[in-house]
Amino acid sequence: MSQVTALLLGLVAVFVGVTLVVAVALGVGFRSSGADARFRRRLSLYTLSGRAAREAQQQAPVERSLLGNSAVTRSALGMADRVARRRGLDGVIAGRLEAASLPIRTAEWMLIHVGIALATAVLLLVLTFGKPLAALMGLIAGLAGPWMFLIIREGRREAAFLARLPDTLQLLAGSLKAGHSLPQAIDSVVREAEAPISTEFQRALVESRLGMPMEDALEGIAERMESQDFSWVVMAIRIQREVGGNLAELLLTVSDTLRERERLRRQVRVLSAEGRLSGAILSGLPVVFTVFLLLANPQYLAPLVSPNGLVLIGAAVALLIAGVFWMSRVVKVDV
């Protein structure tokens, strides 16, 4: 089989797969548009409840989506939402998106994720003239890439939160010394601080105004940011509310402690920068070199497309994952 024939077969297979996905989405979205459903819907218009429902449907605002508002998009989003709920992925993905501060829904993220994976696989398939191994690696990279983006964005947001937390506590203490209450002090933080401090404290303030205790709303910030330091701050506020005392002085003391921890944390990151850089290079070198060989000399990797070659690839991937995990544990120092 020539390379052009293999490439055409691969493109046809991708086209058929995408067509089937769209067909399933349309079938799921419009399954209720059969003859019986249309008959019941027409009869309901002559009843009071049917008229009220129709008027409410006409007056209700249409929920806009990041991917558009067409019938195909709504059907695909509905199917992705049902898959996420059945597989128990809704809470996990929603928590990741919320921690990374991405204003998209779980279904939208799943569709974008699948689209990136398919696009990467097709791109490498075209660049290598129909090599199935390249398409497989592109699919794996497309599936892993968005998750890495979420993890990196979440880590940067948590680091920014921890870096600004001592100044935020000092601002809270200053507002409390000026005679403001705790909600008023948090409102001053929302108006004067930067993201992600302002966005997280604004959400806690809104939750408290809706009836949630302020300590529980602040504990939600610690859970979303996965910050042990802020959990200690909330614990200190709870103890002060129960036994009394000067909350402003307590926050200043905690602020000084967290500032020293942040200084020590930065010093540790500087001292471990060489090890982290070496780990990143050693972890990415096999993947980058394999992709280069697929694009430059695919025949060099042709013997791997065999039962023994697949076993070797699986062993290499397992060893690479173990090595990456070991290097990440070595260079990580908890402060």
Write out pLDDT tens, residues 83-103: 777 777 777 777 778 777 777
Contact 231, 219 (CB under 8 A): yes
Does this model's pTM top 0.75? My answer is no
Nearest residue to 247 (alpha-carbon basis) of 173, 152, 142: 173
Burial (CB count within 10 angstroms: exposed 0-12, middle 13-18, buried 19+), residue 185: buried
pLDDT in tens, 261-295: 888 888 888 888 888 888 888 888 888 888 788 77
Q: How confident is the model at residue 64 (pLDDT cuts 50, 70, 90)?
A: low
Distance (Å, whole) CA 316 – CA 17 = 30
Q: How confident is the model at residue 215 (pLDDT cuts 50, 70, 90)?
A: confident
3 state DSSP class of 332: coil
Q: What percent of the chain has pLDDT over 70?
A: 77
**pLDDT for residue 3 is more than 80:** no
Distance (Å, whole) CA 192 – CA 180 = 15
Q: What angle do CA 303, 307, 312 make, to 5 degrees?
A: 70
